[in-house]
Chain A
């Protein structure tokens, strides 16, 4: 057990939580503004692909990150415009986006890089890790927080900023109100369509950032459907936290931990397949426990 819960496990958990966290913040905003975003999975996949492609051609990790954010914002226009001005059903749009992202990235993988399955190349840059001197001095447990990618540090800053934006600014108030009762918001002069469009598109940048962390943070590769359900897990975190950014961030950390734990248990001889299903089993247990508690409250 001592070996199992090591500083490295926590380090991996924080690393694994980063893409979830970013997607969850985006999902919280979409949900609050009244567009339930089930396309986080597809958005993240697009972000991961664009990050690798742009990183490969520019040899610059930050260019990869920037491209991933912009690319995912463009992709998000499907949901943003579809659910507002075109009055489409968000669920249908999101299912389409997830299928499209999966097929489109596989297609471009073959078209641009001539491979199928996984693309890896030394030219793909890794996001630099930041070494913070103060933390290194704290020994192995201090190292837990040290040497993460810049994206990881920024993601926790984003959680704080999102909380302030949502609960302490006029735009946050309007986002919360527009989602709860759009008619009332319109009556008070808020252009709900515009607000929803902007929220969905801008929050897409966060998911793209998460995608970039996934493909350039711990590894430097893109493989088909490499998001492997992370977008859905982020969605679960949002629902567990009932659209609260801090709660969703903590839920993501828990899921990151189960992810790291699964990997760690593999090295203890646990079959690979069981290790991979662990995060999902824990997710299901969390959902059931939460549903029970909710019923008691009601």
Chain B
């Protein structure tokens, strides 16, 4: 088989920082080629070079045997390379066909040829089994559908090579399986796919070959069928990482977070419909569900961002329905939010401020109503060390951190409260393998220390590994409670999709 794309000795420097060093990559026509690596390994830089977003400092890119140099993404597009970015670049208020033909519109005279545009989009969708309504407004489509629009955009521009940058990070499990199927079909129809990810199971499931990167360099190249997950992890991290979570036996204590017949939303179609459960000291309870089945409302109700319309919420024995979030935290609850950028941290502020938030009102971090910056810095330094956050120092602004490190910082701040109740939302989304391992370990440690942990996650393996019990939310109701040790992904997925138990 011929190599359609070859990267030879690519190097990219930003001052002293080397983002890519001596990178070589060979991609064959019609294969799914995974590019793996932890955050900051240089995958994104390499893809940005291939798509003409940045220029390499040295090295050659060969396309179909000929060296190419892209001055912009337009050059890459005309060389029939397409890219689906992790953050979609769509126009939410425009229709699917408008999004797809944008910038390369079919015309009749001076006017848009709407009929031709629609037909071409529909035909393209049919050919590639990307079922989507050309007249739907993109902003109203689910994320998985929006991603199909992005793929169609590239195909409309005759892309032969498709770069998918962490495409599954934003998807629910069912959507992810749909995407993997689409990827296989695209490859079977002769397209070449570059699949950037740090999710092992997806690489094992779908890719033909793997190139692994670490710290800007390629550390290994493997044929997927001939390798193991452990070998890939070793190449990514440079060490052995245990994927197994060891959960010591704990005695289940008294209930610390109690939710009784909780109602949220209007009576006709409640977002949460009489949800009842309790999380006891020394256990991790997981919430599984396809996005949009009430998880967000549950978190909002528990954290006080949304009014509780019925039922009771009890935190550490005290009714908390009408308390503010500050009062609820005062009862003994710490929160690791899903959106670590907008909710969990203040990007423009230094680490010591971010790590002191919530403790800044009382001694030792403030005295007589005035903030003690020196004490905050000391506090931050202690936490940075204890939780192993890779950061220059307490004065570094947190907006510069990678997803995994920012998450470690937030986890450090929240767990330091030693609150009896922990509400943890999507703790490892977009986080690399090393940080996942770490976060999982501290969550289990908290459980051992007798905390009550409520874990909301879209990663079923994570729920299975960490939880004692898993509750499945479907259309605002808890449809099933499963013991994590006696269930599997298939069973959870069945109930997530609205399946009825025997």
Chain A residues with CB under 8 Å of chain B are 164, 168-170, 172-174, 176-177, 180-181, 183-185, 187-190
Contacts and interface: CB of A to CB of B under 8 A. Distances in A.
B110 interface: yes
Contacts of B111: 164, 168-169
A134 to B, nearest CB: 30
A181 B103 contact: no
A189 B98 CA distance: 15
B141 interface: no
A189 B94 contact: no
Given A168-B112, A189-B74, A190-B103, A173 B98 contact: yes
B92 interface: yes
Given A174-B102, A188-B103, A189-B74, A181 B110 contact: no
A169 B112 CA distance: 5
From A170, A172, A180, A185, residue with most partner B Cβ within 10 Å: A170
B376 to A, nearest CB: 33
A172 B91 CA distance: 14
A127 B365 CA distance: 73
Contacts of B77: 189
A177 B94 contact: yes
B112 A181 contact: no
A180 B103 contact: no
B110 A176 contact: no
A183 B112 contact: no
Contacts of B93: 176, 180
B325 interface: no
Contacts of B92: 180-181
A180 B98 CA distance: 13
Interface of B: 73-74, 77, 89-94, 98-99, 101-105, 107, 110-112, 114, 153
B105 A170 contact: yes
B77 to A, nearest CB: 7
A183 B153 CA distance: 15
A172 B107 CA distance: 12
B33 to A, nearest CB: 23
A-B residue pairs, 8 tightest by C-beta: A184-B89, A188-B103, A170-B105, A177-B91, A189-B74, A180-B91, A189-B103, A187-B89
Contacts of A172: 112
Nearest to B77: A189
Contacts of B102: 173-174, 177, 184-185, 188, 190
A186 to B, nearest CB: 8
Given A173-B112, A188-B89, 17 more contacts: A164-B111, A169-B110, A170-B112, A173-B105, A176-B91, A177-B98, A177-B102, A180-B91, A180-B93, A181-B89, A181-B90, A183-B89, A184-B102, A185-B102, A185-B103, A188-B103, A189-B104
Nearest to B139: A180
13 contacts: A168-B112, A168-B114, A169-B111, A170-B107, A176-B91, A177-B99, A177-B102, A180-B93, A183-B89, A184-B90, A184-B91, A187-B73, A188-B103
Contacts of A185: 91, 102-103
From A177, A185, A187, A189, residue with most partner B Cβ within 10 Å: A187
From B74, B91, B104, B112, residue with most partner A Cβ within 10 Å: B91
Nearest to A183: B89
A173 B89 CA distance: 15
From B90, B93, B102, residue with most partner A Cβ within 10 Å: B102
Contacts of A173: 94, 98, 101-102, 105, 112
A176 B94 contact: yes
A173 B99 CA distance: 9
Contacts of B103: 174, 185, 188-190
Nearest to B92: A180
B83 to A, nearest CB: 9
A173 B104 CA distance: 11
From B74, B92, B112, residue with most partner A Cβ within 10 Å: B112
Contacts of B99: 177
A170 B106 CA distance: 8
Contacts of A187: 73, 89
B477 to A, nearest CB: 26
B419 to A, nearest CB: 34
A188 B78 CA distance: 11
Contacts of A190: 102-103
Nearest to A172: B112
Contacts of A168: 111-112, 114
A34 B309 CA distance: 40
A174 B99 CA distance: 10
Nearest to A180: B91
A168 B117 CA distance: 12
Contacts of A181: 89-92
Nearest to A170: B105
From A174, A180, A184, residue with most partner B Cβ within 10 Å: A184
A156 B313 CA distance: 60
Contacts of B153: 188
Contacts of A188: 89, 102-104, 153
B51 to A, nearest CB: 9
Contacts of A177: 91, 94, 98-99, 102
A164 B102 CA distance: 17
A170 B116 CA distance: 13
Nearest to A167: B112
Nearest to B85: A187
Nearest to A165: B110
Nearest to B101: A173
Contacts of B90: 181, 184
A184 B99 CA distance: 10
Nearest to A164: B111
Contacts of B110: 169
Contacts of A176: 91, 93-94
Contacts of B112: 168-170, 172-173
A195 to B, nearest CB: 11
A177 B74 CA distance: 17
A216 B90 CA distance: 45
Contacts of B74: 189
